[in-house]
Amino acid sequence: MNDFPKNLAPWSGLRMVATICPPFVVGYETGHLLPAMIAVMSALFVGFSDHEAPARRTFPILLLTALVVSPCIALGRVVPPYLEDMLVLSFALPLAAGLMALWGEAFAAAGFFGCVSYVIAMSVPAPPESIPFTLLWSLAGGIYAVLISLLPWPRHCVPLVVSKGPGAVLHAIRLSLAVGLATIAAYGLNLERAYWVPMTAAFVMRPLIFHTRKAMMERCIGTAVGSIVASLILGHFAADLPRIAALAAATFFTFTIFPVSYSGFSAGIACVVLIELSIGLPPYPHVALVRIEDTVLGAGVAFLVHTLVVDRR
């Protein structure tokens, strides 16, 4: 995603609030935050894969993304205890995700968000017997996001940019190296939120080195600003309900500004993540600093890989 239409997208922001916040609130009120967070993770990426197209064209993209993201989340949860398997998949899944772009935008979206959801799911490890539970809730979240996206929202979302041909193959290789090496670095250093490093590498890596450099700078700056804002919000609101309201506001801002500014989106998504992590959980005062450090490391790995693996034709 490189060339964005320069207009705010408030309907996209409202759609993502409707996609993310109700499942989270239901999970909070019923005391089932874990299944709610699994459903929200899936719903986020399915909603993210929506773009500027008629609903009849968007539906197969959303449905395919839901079907790919769900098993990737389940796989991400059960793999972390098995380090060798985790490292192999951290190279293999991004490579497969990049190559899926050869089959068009539906496969490109499903592959990329499946790869990212696998990385994020590593943050909530679980034994193999949890696979049916995870598949159920992640698929439920994905289908919920599909249904929300099919409502008659004004179609102003970020278009998908699909790289085809030899360029897609080289990009898939770079994506694989960036995510795999970022995973080795993060888990080798035993970082507290290690999954943030390969996640950042995946989002920053772009087909062209100019766009990777730009995304790296905007991601780091935006994350720093968003982490500071989140710290101020969490310091001011100690109760969970005001934080949930702040989560909704941050979600709206994040996806409204996305078409205009990737740095603004990065600030917003950092704020969303840090607020979400604070709800119903013990205080984690230095999480903002951890987010900034992991983002810088992941973005740096992505840019280094792109610098070394360039198209020399």
**What is the DSSP annotation of 33-97?**
HHHHHHHHHHHHHHHHT--SS-HHHHHHHHHHHHHHHHHHHHHHHHSTTSHHHHHHHHHHHHHHH
- Report yes or no on 5 lying in a domain: no
> Distance between CA 30 and CA 265 in Å, rounded?
31
> Distance between CA 20 and CA 25 in Å, rounded?
9
**What is the DSSP annotation of 133-180?**
HHHHHHHHHHHHHHHHHTS------PPP----THHHHHHHHHHHHHHH
Contact 219, 262 (CB under 8 A): yes
- Report yes or no on 4 lying in a domain: no
* Mean pLDDT estimate for the chain: 87
What pLDDT was estimated at residue 107?
Answer: 86
Rounded to 5°, the CA angle 249-261-229 comes to: 40
Question: Residue 252 half-sphere exposure, CB side, CA atoms within 13 Å?
Answer: 10
CA 224 to chain centre: 17
What pLDDT was estimated at residue 1?
Answer: 42
- Report yes or no on 3 lying in a domain: no
**87 burial type by CB count under 10 A (0-12 exposed, 13-18 middle, 19+ buried):** middle
**238 burial type by CB count under 10 A (0-12 exposed, 13-18 middle, 19+ buried):** exposed
- Report yes or no on 16 lying in a domain: yes
What does each C-alpha distance from 83 to 78, 79, 259, 300 come to in angstroms?
Answer: 11, 7, 38, 23
What pLDDT was estimated at residue 164?
Answer: 58
Query: Over the stretch 21-75, which tens digit does the pLDDT of each residue have?
Result: 999 999 989 989 889 999 999 999 998 887 656 666 778 888 999 999 999 999 9
What pLDDT was estimated at residue 123?
Answer: 83
Contact 66, 19 (CB under 8 A): no
- Report yes or no on 251 lying in a domain: yes
- 85: domain range? 10-308
- Report yes or no on 1 lying in a domain: no
What pTM was computed for the model? 0.90
Rounded to 5°, the CA angle 60-26-195 comes to: 65
Q: Could you count the other beta carbons within 10 Å of the beta carbon of residue 78?
A: 20
Q: What is the largest CA-CA distance in the chain?
A: 57
- Report yes or no on 61 lying in a domain: yes
What pLDDT was estimated at residue 52?
Answer: 59
Contact 26, 141 (CB under 8 A): no
Number of domains comprising the chain: 1
- Report yes or no on 30 lying in a domain: yes
Element spanning 110, H or E:
helix 105-121
Contact 43, 19 (CB under 8 A): yes
Q: What is the mean pLDDT of each run of 10 residues along the chain (313 residues)?
A: 62 92 92 91 89 69 92 88 76 92 83 93 86 94 92 65 69 95 92 94 93 96 96 89 94 93 96 90 78 97 93 57
